[in-house]
A and B are shown apart, each in its own frame.
Chain A
Amino acid sequence: MIDSPRARAALPLVRFTFDGRAYEGRAGDTLAAALLAQGVRILGRSFKYHRPRGLLAAGVEEPNALVTIDRGAGRVTPNLLATQVEIYEGLAARSQNRWPSLRFDALEINDLFSALMPAGFYYKTFMWPAAAWRRLYEPLIRRAAGFGEAPREADADVYANLYAHCDALVVGSGPAGLAAALAASGRGERVILCEQDFAFGGSLLAERAATIDGEAAAQWRAQALARLAARANVTLLNRTTAFGLYAQNYVCLAQRLSDHLPPAQAKGPRERLWQVRAGRVIVAAGAIERPLAFECNDRPGVMLAEAARVYANRFGVAPGARALVACASDSAWRAAFDLRAAGVEIVLIADARASVAQALQDAARETGVAFELGARVRRAHGRLAVKAAEVEGAGGLRTIACDLLLMGAGWTPTLHLFAQARGPLAWDAALGAFRPAQAREDIVCAGACNGALSLAMALDEGARAGGEATRVHAVAHDWPCASGPVAPVAPVAQGAAFVDFQNDVKARDYELAQREGFVALEHVKRYTTSGLGADQGKTGAINATRLVADLSQREPGAVGLTTMRPPFTPVSFGALAHMARGPLYEPARETPAHAGAAARGAVFENAGAWRRARAFARAGESEPRVVAREAMAVRTAAGLFDASTLGKIEVAGPDALAFLNKIYVNDFSRLAPGRCRYAVMLNEAGLVMDDGLVARLAPDRFHVTTTSGGLGHVLHHMEDFLQTEFTHLKVWLVDVTEQWSCLALQGPRARDILAPLVEGVDLSRAAMPPMSLREGAIMGTPLRLLRAGFTGELGFELYTPARFGAPLWDFLLERGARCGLEPYGLEALDVLRLEKGYIVIGQDSDGACTPDDLGLARLIGASKGDFVGARSLRLPHLASAGRRQLVGLRLRGGSRPLDVGAQIVEAPAPPAGTRALGHVTSSRVSPALAAPVALALVADGRARMGARVFVTRLDGPCEEAEIAAPVFYDPAGERLNG
């Protein structure tokens, strides 16, 4: 324990800078403790009024001392709490929200005009002119208010993630947490004990007098930690904040691994996100001391009493020389006595309560500490540091000089995690705060966060929560812990009496909100911004509730608290993203022939998680030229396309045919083995869901393809029906998407190229007609060969086991080169399929199309009986007039494609409000036709063949077009059947 200047002086020196000035601290200091020891009183400027601010607290509840830590390029972190930052040799810290300096901040002028800036003044003042809000007011306000600056450079650090499981997660390592962890791990449970501080022990770290089981608190703590560390079933995590408690005891912890080390020594990840699934959670998060609201209660030197005790007892730092204690709780008396023992003069304990325990009064008299009951501090004097306080007591108002003004109105259980898990809270009048109404079976609050403020009670509750029914710790020199029932905010609190320090919300702002009719606390919060800061009102929220309750003459329990949301304290984006950054943000799925495509100049694009070749560019070629070249190669010679991303499902079993007849609209009964068919499936609403090929390998085996992006939901749809509706069918679905590579060889020379290369398949027109399937071999590997494609040309799809995809790609391109074979990408494919009017599901259909809307009614097997969607197709509105139908659009001249999504109207300049006939779904310039072509969904489109319509342009007047059949190239299909 570093509870004296002498003990402190024995610690190694640590040099660091704050705002560029050199300081010295001691090993084990927080930045706050080190600066306090060096006499630095101002650590920040307030959010709105830019008032000078010092330390209010010593822990995570600190609202004022936010700093920026600079660890080099890409390692600048704003808004860190000086009370949490550990100093190291060379640490560079900066204050925030001030210009030019902390001691003189130009915007402190806001404070002079603070009367003009009450709650909600933004909304009232910056109303006019409306246009000025975005350009002028908001940028100005954002500059003036707020804290640190967001980093501008990419985060240079590494972050880790770990999924963990345990029987008991103990949050907090104070007496309750240690007792709980000892008890639970003693029963053989897997225990994780996490502590947000770098040191385990919580309140034990500042405990001078009490003994546990005959040992000094510090000694007991050390022994407890040693026992826990020796147990293999215990994981001890310091510097680790449990920031979110979600459904089913899924708890997220942020572990800070290297920020406490000089950058040169920091190896490995900066932080680790722990995603813990806990059998039960024991929240032993302690309690936060309540401040009092009086005029200028935010001046540097006004501090929570327990914080001063922690600085004195844990760090050996006296936070002042002459302290006045303004309180309404027993614990503040203990702080006063401990500070006195540390050499701080206690000028007065002004306790607002009319009576306090006799033991306290006796102790004060013994040590010669003056106290006054029923006395309240009305005001603090001093601007950059507190110089005196006005105390109102029995003898009237008097001013007492002091350089430290301590506040302690009682304790507020730290219920954030419990409340995040929707644990019920109840108002406890004796405590003057909310506490858990009842424990949940799997989330238990123990110790101070359950309202058990004494050491003995905390140890007891911890042990019980850990599962030990009998063990009682013997505690001596424990401390009484009564507080209240004095309201922490005096009814006459005027002027700059702050309730929410971080967001600069004064007591009178709540009064204004009350006058303006804000009743619900959540509304008061939004209007006043109380609790909206990064500290989420850790010190202010409870006082806000009591003030609102008093103002509206309600019980605090009826006013309640605002919702507590994760994170408990701010978490870095790095920890949340952990490994999912850059290339690991999302998997990049590559086809087997990916490298071969890249070697031939492929430019890839994202299609879902797949990387697909968009085009194969040659040096100096613009993309439209590439696309036209590739498309013409397919029309005139041959092209090779990597179609491996197609979803592939093997449907096998004696009832495979019956199942497919139910899932697709088609009737496959007469589909012979060795044949395949274009097929469409509907959802239950009768709307087209996906399309693909269904090939029959054998009487009881089918090879089915889906769109590249459709595999997941198609397979799910099929399994869903198989497992719920068609349970009598003996059929199994196997996803073979990754088993098979698929290369599409398309074009008039496709047969010439392929014939000499395949073994065991006759490719002639007679032996292998369109939509047939053969099994053979190529390069000595098994081959499933489909005569099919998406280009309208003679073509084949070559399915080989995936490992042969890459060699086959190179082999075909080499052997086919003399026939003019070229690889083509998605762009050229889109041109080719559009020329033929082949639809792309999700582009030309929009989730509201029936087969008939898309011109596919002929696929429906009329006599096969029921199938998914059949009943809906009989609904009148799916067959009514006026439905949008797929048609082609031909332009009268012009060489620019239409805009996809453009509206189609009947008149060239329709008046506003005119209903569009439809919209363009696909649009390209066809190199084969040397003209733009498009597909569109148009109301009653097929009845409008040859009609003149107008298509809107983003950048000019409407363009005239003619409605045509949606097949622009080779409408008779002679090329396909060649």
Chain B
Amino acid sequence: MVDAIEAPGVRVRALAPAPAFLLCGDAPTLALACAALGVDPPAPCASRAAGPLAVLWLAPDRLLLLGDAQAASRLRAPLGERPHALVDVSDGEAALELEGPAAARLLACAIMLDLDTGAFPPGACARTLLGKAPALLLRTGEARFVLRTPRSYATYACALLAEGARGLAP
């Protein structure tokens, strides 16, 4: 696996493994969890951040809690006996960060989403495909993205982005 890709206008680097929990439940349960974590419930295909924690909307009954190892224990008491599922998925995905004015253009070599800031503003997130790999894309800034792929696809994802970087110019 490539650790970093440098191309004109964009830098790709592998992010260190981060804590990740998948929280499933009905809407009131998810709202309760968000309140306990100190964020507003994210809108569909959007995320909310609070300190190191990012809460990503994945589906109507599903949030991904990224970056806070204590997130699960912080939710234990507030969620109590409410029906929900909280699963540690910290090892399931590998993450890359893409940064630079050409980051969206590089992603567009393999992601078919409209990455214009109007359509996919900072904070937006979506499950999609990177070439033939499943992917979760999160925009963390105008020119910064986090791309998560299942661990076994990480080599492919990096190689694909490296090839995409070769295709950026001219």
A734 and B21 alpha carbons, distance in the complex (Å): 11
Contact A739 B88 (CB under 8 A): yes
Stretch at the interface among A33-41, A46-54, A588-596: A588-596
A584-B159, A652-B24 known; A739 and B91 CB under 8 Å? yes
Q: B9: which A residues are within 8 A, CB to CB?
A: none
Contact A802 B110 (CB under 8 A): no
Q: B109: which A residues are within 8 A, CB to CB?
A: 160-163, 579
Contact B133 A587 (CB under 8 A): yes
Contact B24 A732 (CB under 8 A): yes
Q: B108: which A residues are within 8 A, CB to CB?
A: 162-164
Q: A738: which B residues are within 8 A, CB to CB?
A: 91-93, 150-152
Is B167 an interface residue when CB atoms closer than 8 A count as contact? Answer: yes
Contact B116 A165 (CB under 8 A): yes
Q: A730: which B residues are within 8 A, CB to CB?
A: 83
Q: Contact mask B139-155 → A, CB, 8 Å, 1/0?
A: 00000000000111101
Q: A268: which B residues are within 8 A, CB to CB?
A: 166-170
Is B76 an interface residue when CB atoms closer than 8 A count as contact? Answer: no
Contact B159 A267 (CB under 8 A): no
Q: B90: which A residues are within 8 A, CB to CB?
A: 739, 801
Is B164 an interface residue when CB atoms closer than 8 A count as contact? Answer: yes
Interface hits, B76-133 → A, CB 8 Å? 83-93, 105, 108-114, 116, 119, 131-133
Interface hits, A540-597 → B, CB 8 Å? 578-580, 583-584, 586-592
A732-B61, A734-B89 known; A584 and B111 CB under 8 Å? no
Is B160 an interface residue when CB atoms closer than 8 A count as contact? Answer: yes
A579-B160, A589-B152, A610-B152 known; A653 and B85 CB under 8 Å? yes
A272 and B166 alpha carbons, distance in the complex (Å): 11
Contact B87 A652 (CB under 8 A): yes
Contact B155 A257 (CB under 8 A): no
- Residue in B25, B62, B83, B167 whose beta carbon sits within 8 Å of that of A161 in the complex: B167
Contact B132 A161 (CB under 8 A): no
Which of A161, A164, A650, A738: most chain B CB closer than 10 A?
A738
A740 and B22 alpha carbons, distance in the complex (Å): 15
Is A269 an interface residue when CB atoms closer than 8 A count as contact? Answer: yes
Q: How many residues of B contact A (CB 8 A)?
A: 45
Among residues of A, the one whose C-beta sits closest to the C-beta of B130 is A587
Shortest beta-carbon distance from A347 to chain B in Å:
48
- Residue in B25, B131, B151 whose beta carbon sits within 8 Å of that of A580 in the complex: B131
A267-B170, A736-B92 known; A587 and B24 CB under 8 Å? no
Q: Contact mask A723-753 → B, CB, 8 Å, 1/0?
A: 0000000111011111110000000000000
Q: A162: which B residues are within 8 A, CB to CB?
A: 105, 108-109, 167
- Residue in A267, A586, A591, A610 whose beta carbon sits within 8 Å of that of B169 in the complex: A267
A164 and B92 alpha carbons, distance in the complex (Å): 30
Q: A160: which B residues are within 8 A, CB to CB?
A: 109, 164, 166-168
Contact B155 A588 (CB under 8 A): yes
Interface hits, B1-46 → A, CB 8 Å? 17, 22, 24-25
A88 and B40 alpha carbons, distance in the complex (Å): 61
Contact A653 B83 (CB under 8 A): yes
Contact B160 A803 (CB under 8 A): no
Among residues of B, the one whose C-beta sits closest to the C-beta of A159 is B167
Contact B114 A277 (CB under 8 A): yes
Q: B164: which A residues are within 8 A, CB to CB?
A: 160-161, 579
A165-B119, A589-B152, A738-B92 known; A583 and B159 CB under 8 Å? yes
Contact B24 A591 (CB under 8 A): no
Shortest beta-carbon distance from B91 to chain A in Å:
4
Contact A591 B163 (CB under 8 A): no
Q: A588: which B residues are within 8 A, CB to CB?
A: 155-156
Q: Contact mask B40-70 → A, CB, 8 Å, 1/0?
A: 0000000000000000000001100000000
Is A654 an interface residue when CB atoms closer than 8 A count as contact? Answer: yes
Among residues of A, the one whose C-beta sits closest to the C-beta of B113 is A163
A579 and B170 alpha carbons, distance in the complex (Å): 16
- Residue in B83, B116, B119, B153 whose beta carbon sits within 8 Å of that of A589 in the complex: B153
Is A158 an interface residue when CB atoms closer than 8 A count as contact? Answer: yes
Is A190 an interface residue when CB atoms closer than 8 A count as contact? Answer: yes
Is A494 an interface residue when CB atoms closer than 8 A count as contact? Answer: no
Q: B160: which A residues are within 8 A, CB to CB?
A: 579, 584
A580 and B17 alpha carbons, distance in the complex (Å): 28
- Residue in B85, B105, B112, B152 whose beta carbon sits within 8 Å of that of A590 in the complex: B152
Q: Contact mask A630-662 → B, CB, 8 Å, 1/0?
A: 000000000000000000001011100000000
Is A454 an interface residue when CB atoms closer than 8 A count as contact? Answer: no
Contact A579 B163 (CB under 8 A): yes
Interface hits, A801-815 → B, CB 8 Å? 801-803
Q: B83: which A residues are within 8 A, CB to CB?
A: 653-654, 730
Q: Contact mask A156-191 → B, CB, 8 Å, 1/0?
A: 001111111100000000000000000000000010
Shortest beta-carbon distance from B30 to chain A in Å:
12
Interface hits, A653-679 → B, CB 8 Å? 653-654
Is A275 an interface residue when CB atoms closer than 8 A count as contact? Answer: yes
Contact B91 A650 (CB under 8 A): no
Shortest beta-carbon distance from A597 to chain B in Å:
14
- Residue in A165, A579, A592 whose beta carbon sits within 8 Å of that of B167 in the complex: A579
Contact A592 B166 (CB under 8 A): no
Q: B61: which A residues are within 8 A, CB to CB?
A: 732
A161-B110, A163-B112, A653-B83 known; A587 and B92 CB under 8 Å? no
A165 and B88 alpha carbons, distance in the complex (Å): 36
A406 and B74 alpha carbons, distance in the complex (Å): 84
A431 and B26 alpha carbons, distance in the complex (Å): 63
Q: Contact mask A225-241 → B, CB, 8 Å, 1/0?
A: 00000000000000000
A732 and B30 alpha carbons, distance in the complex (Å): 13
A158 and B165 alpha carbons, distance in the complex (Å): 11
Shortest beta-carbon distance from B155 to chain A in Å:
6
A610-B152, A801-B90 known; A587 and B132 CB under 8 Å? yes
Contact A586 B132 (CB under 8 A): yes
Contact A734 B131 (CB under 8 A): no
Shortest beta-carbon distance from A757 to chain B in Å:
20
Q: B114: which A residues are within 8 A, CB to CB?
A: 165, 277
Shortest beta-carbon distance from B11 to chain A in Å:
19
- Residue in A590, A740, A803 whose beta carbon sits within 8 Å of that of B155 in the complex: A590
A272 and B109 alpha carbons, distance in the complex (Å): 10
Shortest beta-carbon distance from B103 to chain A in Å:
14
A163-B112, A579-B109 known; A803 and B156 CB under 8 Å? no
Contact A736 B156 (CB under 8 A): no
Which of B111, B151, B159, B169: most chain A CB closer than 10 A?
B151
Among residues of A, the one whose C-beta sits closest to the C-beta of B105 is A162
Contact B87 A650 (CB under 8 A): yes
A162 and B170 alpha carbons, distance in the complex (Å): 13
Q: A736: which B residues are within 8 A, CB to CB?
A: 87, 89, 92
Contact A734 B167 (CB under 8 A): no
A793 and B153 alpha carbons, distance in the complex (Å): 33
Contact B24 A803 (CB under 8 A): no
A467 and B70 alpha carbons, distance in the complex (Å): 55
Contact B110 A592 (CB under 8 A): no
Interface hits, A688-744 → B, CB 8 Å? 701, 730-732, 734-740
Contact A275 B131 (CB under 8 A): no
Q: A735: which B residues are within 8 A, CB to CB?
A: 92
Which of A158, A268, A580, A589: most chain B CB closer than 10 A?
A589
Which residues of B approach A to under 8 Å, CB–CB?
17, 22, 24-25, 61-62, 83-93, 105, 108-114, 116, 119, 131-133, 150-153, 155-156, 159-160, 163-164, 166-170
Apart from A610-B152, A736-B92: 20 A-B pairs, beta carbons within 8 A: A158-B167, A161-B110, A161-B164, A162-B105, A162-B109, A165-B116, A277-B112, A579-B109, A579-B167, A583-B159, A589-B156, A652-B86, A653-B83, A732-B24, A732-B85, A734-B87, A735-B92, A738-B150, A739-B90, A801-B91
Q: List 20 A-B contacts (CB under 8 A).
A: A159-B167, A160-B166, A162-B109, A163-B109, A165-B119, A268-B168, A269-B166, A584-B160, A589-B152, A650-B85, A652-B24, A652-B86, A653-B24, A732-B85, A737-B150, A739-B87, A739-B90, A739-B91, A801-B88, A802-B151
